[in-house]
Amino acid sequence: MASNQQTRPGIGELAKDTVRGRIGVVMGELGGRVHLRPIGGGKEWEAVPETVKAPSTREELSARLAVRNSNSRYGL
């Protein structure tokens, strides 16, 4: 693999769907689509593999903080 190519996040890792601008956990790949689920749980969505990449550190922290803040509002 060339050094300028990025590998797509694997199952259980965080990934960013660049089309939707959402970050989720990679649940798997089926039918040529990557299946992602929101960090805090919820309904999966599909993304085209070419539009899925690893989130930046800032994006990951922001997504995790949003889930934590949401959970604290509801006493979770």
Residue 50 DSSP code: G
Residue 52 DSSP code: E
Residue 13 DSSP code: S
For residue 31, give the H/E element and its range. Answer: none
Average pLDDT in the chain: 90
Residue in the block written with tokens 């989720």: 24
Q: Which carries the bigger pLDDT value, residue 29 or residue 5?
A: 29
pLDDT band at 48 (very low <50, low <70, confident <90, very high): very high
Q: What is the pTM of this model?
A: 0.82
Provide the token pair at 5: 């190519």
Domains of the chain, by residue range, sit at 14-71
- Residue 66 sits at φ, ψ, to 5 deg, of -60, -40
Q: What is the pLDDT of residue 44?
A: 97
